[in-house]
């Protein structure tokens, strides 16, 4: 009976498609008939657009000259068949665009011929022979890549739709597009029916081909997920993430869930960049074909907000901060960001700052939005995209922690107090990274993977991503008893998140962010306050880090500093071992070589280092019981998957409640050309904890010139309006607001 | 009697000086009266000159505003008094130039005031309190820096000479300049009376102040050394170099000895750059004041040739190859090279290639030569400075080995078969480094020093320079029985050098250099042939390395490859140890951690790595007895003075005669923005030794596409004209010239 109904349903749909297809204009998805006319009218007069077009034409002409190859699928990422099919999808999409803009049939014919070759092989294709994925594709080893393919090829199909005969279209839809869409959705619900960046691609793929085919069933499946599907709520994917714990699915749910109201994407900027393309390109399609949905206004306009958030999650060079699983070097030069910037400009409110990024990208989309951007640039409207300090909440309602970025001159502090971040999250509550002018001063390691480099585990996640990169000790945050936060367990981590205590960038000279975490280690409360302070006594702004730990048990605390560069000097004695041993045996510690160990009798521990011609100094308030440890990443790394970078750990044993206070200064410079070292010494002569109570923590900072500054943070009242009076060493301090600095 | 004669001599000189000083024009040393008039006439119309002037004026005005400080000397390099006096010398020289060009007395007054302050302190100054140098200065811890000071200040004095009264001049000459010149020469013969870059500075200092003061005794002392001085021929300096083994001294000897006829400077480019300034600036002064000396024609014009050699000893970015003791990052952007380029252009034959370097430097000298360069640039005469393959002989007569540089597309091979290179030489006969587009593929470690960074051993040579950087194992060359060449002894190394067998860059597609060393290990002959081959079967040119070893004993041979970047994959199995131990206990081995060890049953050993978005593969013909070792620099490094970089060693034990054959391919690229890996695999499927006799070595290279190439080198006849016939596997090969490739 069900089978019978399904057949009828398919039959009716087929009729509907046939009827309405005749009525729909093409192209209508990304390019529109009207837009194409406008573009053709402007050709030759808008430099950035013309240059993008010229470059694309040269590329595609070269591809056409090479001939078409649609090999039988065989390889993982990086292998020939993978790379070829990936390239084909892009080439088809671009050839389609060229056909529309240049009105040259050779491009349409090329798309048609390639589509027909795919039609020829697809109908008999088995599952991809590589078995590693939880959801195998047919052209690729995972449905994710098949979905990528369909997102691009839908656009190509739309562009050549009218060039094809009705019979050709029917053949393609019946043997290629419809079964393709079904394979990545109804046949692969563990991939499709969830809230995850993978599924977003799947939803967009199904939806976009649905829009071109005017197939309401596919469009609805895209927007709302597979109807009436019961999923196993406890199942997990390859990465350890729940497949569908909440039962939510579809494109709208995928907008709803991962984006906070500020536009922060819960997996972090690297995956946001990846997910961005299907979000925006499908949204553009929906906007054009189904304007009544008002997709760009959905959830208070979160899609466009998310672009602004993403751009702000990049350093001075435009590289995204590698929060969670992020590969370093990914930046706003990625094509997905060309899409994002152009769409944001066109469908948003024409922010001239976006034009300066488009200028740097030196590329626009070959559609209405790209034309608008190129015209804006041509008309001299571009202004610098001014990245300021920003606090981005996490969670669907903005109530699950967040990421606070403090910017002061060339320095950027990225403080992460976000939620778990789906299956790509790291166990690094209250961690941070620190940048000077786009260079890492204290790094976030990022992921352990060489994306698409076949020689390194097929280009996929390496074992060390789990054993090292995700672990707490791999980050600049507190580790208790050599265990990771939430026991390094995804299901525990997913239940909790830190809470913002305070974010205040209203005073450009003293910017501050503070958050509290109580669940990473049950019974232990961590409260970390980080500030960037600009003061005349210092050449550049310095960073102040106050980490208060209160526990109901006695523990060992490790606070690592993954400084980038070479040790310059220390103010303490240390021993380097004759042989190197791993620092521990588990939770990431097995990957650290113990490279040196010391202790200090000074009031402060100082470590200076040099990197890329800049000097940096850590000054930390320590005691003679503290162990000071140098470490090097790379132990138990049998395939040299990890970078041999340095770290420094302050270890405090047998302690219940404690306070870690550190300052990081960026200072001076060294040029190997002039061989002159400028301001190579720290400006801090003493960093002291002068008070630490439940309500207040006060730190004094004395400079080498003898001036002393006092920083007080109110620990239990973050109100801007609250007034405080406090006596320290017989002196009264009165102020209003959460902190005092003078 | 001798004492009496000396007194008379001094007396006569004093009279001569007084007489002729009145007749001499000022300025005459670097700026000339005529030149200044010409410069003033062109002011405002030559952009590069005007920009250089404007920048300098702003700098010097800022210095003048700060006031004059001539502190009592106290510090090592990098410390305040050192840095201040160093800055003062530059500022005075530049203020002098500004006075001449702008005719503004404030600059002359500033120079005068500062000189008078120096006059005030110098007469009672004891030796510098720091005792580390073999020749202590007064303003600085070593005479070398005092000499630097006088080289610059002589120019300043020349510029303000006419501004000063005769009485002021007399005071300065009597209390400052003459005793200053004496201190660095007659009072410090161990520094002055030798052939060494230190002495060149000393000679130039004495000579330049002599030219300004028209003091023939000083001029002669500069040109020919201290007359009638007996030196201890066995004495050595702090670096282990002989002070004056040959008895030669003076500026002319310093030109004669260290420069080969090709202009290669025996200590290598880093020290040539350092020595260059006094060579050229004193030569310019001699040219202007004593044109009859024809200094630029001396030794067949070697001074100007040496500039060309130096520029060719830089990579694509202009960074000098760090041969011997060289600090990486030193480049033709250094001010000494602004001097060199401008002087070379003006006094040489106006090579338009030099103008393009001047454009990059974006700076010219503010004298006749700088004006000529700026005018050349203004008039659009600049052409790219086209670095080609070049062979630079070493030794005063060009008979002591050399450095061969092969360039093909973006690849550069630097093959070092030079002599010891004075006290800054390394024990690395037949070593090489390999670059792609200015990035190191296989590195030369350079020196172990942080020049002028006080925190690192006062900015001076670190212990690890001797224990690591100079040792053979720190280089890409053969180590026998874990000992360094020449036992790592300077006096043995100074007696020997490799000999060129062959250099041939006449065929751009097969460029080749080959040299033989027989003394590094007595009883062992090493013959290394390196070629860069450009062939259609490869994306980029590849490097072929054939190292033949013949010994009268059985030995262990280590051939290291200091590859830059991260291991991608290997075709052999290896184990990584649970704990890291040093690879050895001496001769640099104590600084290497043993990071992995393996062996192979394949005919070839393959190692691929990734660096800065480029792929590289080493393919080496090995046997299953070979040990394949991964190493990491940094063991026994208690102050983190060494960089934690990687190496790979092929170790062949219990072997008498053997042949190491390897190919290095640069291939493909990876972009973290597009995440696409292009051509990430080696194109070589097999590298085979098909023949190895006393007379011929033949290597076959088979590509993954199945084509096989044969390379044959004639081992005993490098003649271009010789004809060879050779039967290999029943096939006859006939060719003329030293090698065959097809």
Q: What is the DSSP string of A447-499?
A: -SB-TT-TTTGGGSB-HHIIIIITSGGGSSS-EETTB-GGGG-HHHHTT---E
Contact B680 A453 (CB under 8 A): yes
In the prediction, which pLDDT does B18 show? 45
What is the pTM assigned to this prediction?
0.91
A112 domain residue, yes or no: yes
What is the SS3 assignment for A631?
strand
Boundary-marking domain end, from B184, B219, B254? B219
Contact B582 A578 (CB under 8 A): yes
Q: Predicted ipTM? A: 0.91
In the prediction, which pLDDT does B182 show? 98
Q: Does A610 touch chain B (CB under 8 A)?
A: yes
Q: Work out how many domains chain A is built from and give that number.
A: 2
Contact A580 B580 (CB under 8 A): yes
CA distance B354 to chain A (A): 19
Q: Does A625 touch chain B (CB under 8 A)?
A: no
CA–CA distance, A446 with A457 (Å, rounded to integer): 17
In the prediction, which pLDDT does A408 show? 98
- Per-residue model confidence as pLDDT tens digits over A390-428: 999 999 999 999 999 999 999 999 999 999 998 899 999
In the prediction, which pLDDT does B239 show? 65
What is the SS3 assignment for A532?
strand
**DSSP code, position B467:** I
A722 domain residue, yes or no: yes
In the prediction, which pLDDT does B13 show? 46
In the prediction, which pLDDT does A15 show? 45
Boundary-marking domain end, from B194, B219, B244? B219
Active site residues of A: 271, 424
In the prediction, which pLDDT does B358 show? 98
B509 domain residue, yes or no: yes
Q: What is the CATH number of the domain that holds B134?
A: 1.50.10.100
A371 domain residue, yes or no: no
| Residue span of the structural domain in which B153 resides | 1-30+67-219
Q: Does A340 touch chain B (CB under 8 A)?
A: no
B246 domain residue, yes or no: no
Rounding to the nearest 10 degrees, give the CA dihedral for residues B139, B142, B143, B144. -110
In the prediction, which pLDDT does B323 show? 98
CA–CA distance, A649 with A620 (Å, rounded to integer): 11
In the prediction, which pLDDT does B247 show? 80
In the prediction, which pLDDT does B242 show? 73
Instruction: Tell me the β-bridge partners of B593.
Output: B582, B632
Look at phi and psi of residue A421 and say left if phi exceeds 0, alpha if psi is from -120 to 50, else beta: left
CA–CA distance, A571 with A576 (Å, rounded to integer): 15
Low pLDDT (below 70) residues in chain A: 1-23, 238-240
CA–CA distance, B571 with B569 (Å, rounded to integer): 7
Question: Residue A431: phi, psi to the nearest 5?
Answer: -90, 170
In A455-600, where does DSSP find H-type helix?
463-464, 490-493
CA–CA distance, B139 with B118 (Å, rounded to integer): 10
Q: Which residue of B has its CA nearest to A579?
A: B581
B150 domain residue, yes or no: yes
In the prediction, which pLDDT does A5 show? 46
Contact B334 A673 (CB under 8 A): yes
Q: Could you report how far apart the first and last alpha carbons of chain B are, in Å?
A: 77
CA distance A500 to chain B (A): 32
CA–CA distance, A557 with A549 (Å, rounded to integer): 9
In the prediction, which pLDDT does B15 show? 45
Q: What is the CATH number of the domain that holds A552?
A: 2.70.98.70
Q: Which residues in chain B have Cβ-Cβ distances shorter than 8 Å to A638?
A: 575-576
CA–CA distance, B207 with B289 (Å, rounded to integer): 11
Given the structure tokens 């010391």, which residue do they identify?
A598
Q: Does A452 touch chain B (CB under 8 A)?
A: yes
Averages of pLDDT over each 10 residues, chain B, 742 residues: 48 46 81 96 96 97 96 91 96 98 98 98 95 95 97 98 98 98 97 92 98 97 94 77 81 93 96 92 96 96 96 98 98 96 96 98 96 97 97 97 98 98 94 98 98 92 98 98 97 96 98 98 98 97 98 98 98 97 98 97 96 98 97 98 98 98 98 94 98 97 97 97 96 96 96
Q: Does B317 touch chain A (CB under 8 A)?
A: no
Q: Which residue of A has its CA nearest to B674?
A: A334
Rounding to the nearest 10 degrees, give the CA dihedral for residues A118, A121, A127, A128. -70
B40 domain residue, yes or no: no
Between positions 380 and 409 of A, the ones with CB within 8 A of B are none
Instruction: Tell me the β-bridge partners of A627.
Output: A651
B645 domain residue, yes or no: yes
Boundary-marking domain end, from A219, A243, A274? A219
Using CB atoms, pick whichever of B78, B453, B576 lies closest to residue A637: B576
Q: Which residue of B has its CA nearest to A645?
A: B644
Indicate which of A85, A315, A453 best probes the interface with B, i.e. most B CBs within 10 Å of its own CB. A453
In the prediction, which pLDDT does B23 show? 63
Report the run of H or E that residue B556 belongs to, with start and end.
strand B555-561
Q: Does A451 touch chain B (CB under 8 A)?
A: yes
């Amino acid at each position: 009976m069900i089978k019978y109904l399904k057949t009828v349903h398919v039959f009716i749909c087929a009729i509907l498609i046939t009827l309405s297809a005749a009525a729909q204009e093409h192209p209508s998805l990304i390019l529109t008939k009207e837009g194409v006319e406008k573009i053709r009218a402007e050709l030759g007069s808008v430099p950035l657009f013309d240059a993008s077009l010229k470059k694309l034409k040269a590329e595609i002409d070269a591809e056409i000259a090479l001939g078409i190859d649609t090999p039988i699928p065989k390889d993982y990422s990086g292998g020939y068949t993978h790379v070829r099919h990936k390239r084909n999808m892009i080439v088809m999409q671009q050839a389609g665009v060229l056909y529309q803009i240049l009105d040259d049939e050779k491009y349409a014919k090329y798309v048609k011929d390639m589509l027909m070759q795919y039609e020829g092989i697809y109908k008999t294709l088995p599952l991809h022979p590589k078995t590693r994925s939880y959801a195998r594709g047919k052209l690729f080893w995972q449905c994710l890549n098949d979905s990528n393919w369909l997102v691009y090829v839908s656009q190509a199909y739309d562009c050549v739709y009218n060039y094809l005969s009705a019979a050709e279209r029917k053949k393609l839809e019946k043997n290629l597009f419809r079964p393709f869409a079904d394979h990545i959705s109804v046949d692969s619900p563990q991939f499709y029916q969830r809230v995850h960046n993978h599924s977003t691609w799947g939803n967009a793929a199904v939806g976009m081909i649905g829009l071109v085919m005017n197939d309401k069933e596919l469009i609805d499946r895209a927007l709302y997920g597979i109807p009436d599907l019961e999923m196993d709520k406890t199942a997990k994917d390859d990465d350890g993430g729940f497949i569908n714990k909440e039962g939510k699915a579809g494109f709208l749910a995928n907008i709803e869930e991962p984006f906070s109201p500020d536009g922060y994407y819960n997996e972090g900027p690297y995956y946001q960049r990846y997910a961005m393309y299907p979000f925006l390109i499908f949204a553009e399609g929906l906007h054009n074909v189904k304007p009544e949905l008002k997709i760009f206004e959905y959830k208070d306009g979160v899609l466009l907000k998310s672009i602004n958030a993403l751009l702000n999650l990049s350093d001075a060079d435009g590289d995204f901060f590698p929060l969670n699983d992020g590969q370093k070097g990914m930046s706003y030069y990625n094509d997905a960001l060309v899409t994002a910037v152009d769409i944001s400009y066109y469908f948003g409110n024409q922010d001239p700052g976006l034009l300066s990024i488009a200028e740097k990208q030196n590329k626009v989309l070959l559609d209405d939005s790209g034309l608008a951007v190129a015209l804006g640039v041509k008309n001299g409207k571009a202004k610098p995209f001014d990245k300021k300090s920003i606090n981005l909440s996490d969670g669907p309602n903005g109530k699950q922690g967040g990421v606070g970025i403090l910017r002061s001159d060339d320095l950027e502090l990225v403080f992460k107090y976000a939620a778990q971040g789906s299956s790509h999250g790291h166990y690094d509550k209250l961690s941070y990274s620190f940048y000077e002018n786009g260079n890492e001063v204290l790094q976030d390691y990022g992921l352990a993977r060489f994306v698409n480099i076949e020689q390194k585990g097929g280009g996929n996640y390496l074992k060390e991503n789990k054993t090292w990169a995700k672990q707490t000790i791999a980050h600049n945050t507190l580790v208790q008893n050599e265990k990771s936060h939430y026991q390094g367990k995804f299901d525990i981590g997913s239940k909790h998140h830190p809470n913002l205590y305070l974010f205040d960038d209203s005073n450009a000279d003293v910017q501050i962010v503070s958050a509290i975490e109580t669940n990473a280690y049950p019974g232990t409360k961590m409260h970390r306050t980080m500030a960037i302070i600009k003061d005349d006594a210092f050449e550049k702004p310095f960073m102040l880090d106050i980490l208060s730990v209160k526990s109901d048990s006695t523990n060992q605390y490790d606070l690592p500093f993954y400084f980038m560069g070479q040790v310059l000097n220390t103010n303490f004695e240390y021993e380097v071992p004759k042989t190197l041993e791993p620092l521990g045996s588990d939770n990431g510690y097995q990957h650290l070589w113990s490279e040196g160990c010391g202790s200090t009798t000074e009031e402060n521990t100082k470590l200076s280092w040099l990197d890329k011609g800049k000097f940096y100094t850590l000054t930390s308030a320590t005691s003679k019981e503290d162990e000071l440890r140098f470490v090097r990443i790379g132990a138990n790394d049998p395939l040299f998957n990890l970078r041999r970078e340095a770290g420094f750990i302050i270890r405090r044993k047998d302690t219940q409640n404690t306070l870690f206070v550190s300052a990081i200064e960026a200072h001076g410079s060294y040029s190997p050309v002039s061989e002159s070292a400028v301001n190579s010494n720290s400006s801090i002569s003493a960093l002291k904890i002068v008070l630490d109570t439940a309500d207040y923590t006060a730190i004094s900072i004395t400079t080498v010139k003898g001036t002393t500054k006092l920083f007080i943070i109110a620990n239990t009242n973050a109100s801007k309006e609250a007034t405080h009076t406090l006596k320290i060493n017989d002196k009264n301090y009165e102020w209003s607001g959460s902190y005092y600095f003078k």
